[in-house]
A = this chain, B = another copy of it.
Amino acid sequence: MRLPVSHSIRLRVGYAETDQMGVAHHAAHLVWFERARVELLREIGASYRELEAHGISMPVREARVRYRGPARFDDLLEVEATLREMRRVSCQFHYTVRQAEGGAPVAEGEITLAFCDASGRPIRNGPDRLRALIEETGTRG
């Protein structure tokens, strides 16, 4: 697998995600990043659910978001996740969120995740197991 590898999803801003400023609350973006991350992993053959079922969890170690423009109720957004870097005990994803129509920037950010076992202890063979899953797919990256 060659990095970076990217995948985009579309989602609509839900009413529950707005706050009284009339835009999506700033915590919602982390949830959108997570949705895009899960779909990117699925796309490259590594279901996050399967990972957990095999005793690997990927808790978030660091999150960073730069908010560029409003995302309002019912806006259709495009969220792109990019797996940028894979280290021994962690990996980093980059994200961009844009309005699906017109492409106006909404946010960008980075999430660093650790590789841990089921009880939350860091493991070192996470990247290998993730890569193994990814390489089984054969067709990407």
Contact = CB atoms under 8 A, between A and B. Distances in A.
Number of copies: 4
Contact of A20 (B22, B35, B63): B22
A16 B38 contact: no
Contacts of A129: none
A64 B63 contact: yes
A16 B70 CA distance: 16
A21 interface: yes
Interface residues of A, number: 37
A14 B27 contact: no
Nearest to A14: B35
A63 B65 contact: yes
A70 B21 contact: no
